Amino acid sequence: MADKIILVGGGGHCKVVIDAIQKSGSFEIYGIADSSLPKDETVLGIKVLGDDTILEELLKDGIKYAFISVGSIGNCGVRKKIYENLKDIGFELPVIIHPNAVKASDVETGEGTFVAAGAVINPGTKIGKNVIINTRSSVDHDCAIGDFVHIAPGAILSGGVKVGDEAHIGTGAKVIQSLEIGKRAFICAGITITRNIDDEEKAK
């Protein structure tokens, strides 16, 4: 019998996470915590149990796993705050990988990271904690992805790219080999990056 897990956040990204968990069979989803949705509303059949104030009680009741199902559109700091709160409460945050993703056997993946359907992560890559490698994105060999990064759907990182903490690589963006993307940098959708990007820079 699979361990129970609570999801934090009930928006669109939550649906993607639910699908990955159900198809992998890795956990039984106990419910969703979300302050913006009415209690007892459902997301793909999973019930909203309440807001974040229920989390400590759930841990006491034996639900020891939690997962952040809030996405990010350029502000990865929101997920960082949720992560820190869950760790302070005492939850364990597993890695969730959709069964249709491809991840090389030597890839190192930090806790709380999500790898969506169709994503590819090639050998020699290291991924930090609470990262989103989103739908059909591609991370090639020997990349280094920091904590709380979002690689958006369809984004492509060539080999040897380094991405700093809390950076956002936009939908369909491309980063050529061996470049460095700074901390909290924002790469707009659909562009090709051919130079290093500074911390907190917006590339468009």
Q: How far apart are CA 7 and CA 122, in angstroms?
A: 28
CA 85 from chain centre, in angstroms, equals 16
The SS3 call for residue 120 is: strand
Burial of residue 68 (CB within 10 Å: 0-12, 13-18, 19+) is: buried
Find the distance separating the first CA and the last CA of the chain, reported in whole Å: 48
Q: Find out whether 25 and 96 touch, Cβ atoms under 8 Å.
A: no
Amino acid, res. 133: I
Q: How far apart are CA 193 and CA 198, in angstroms?
A: 12
Catalytic residues: 141
Structure tokens at 82: 């949720």
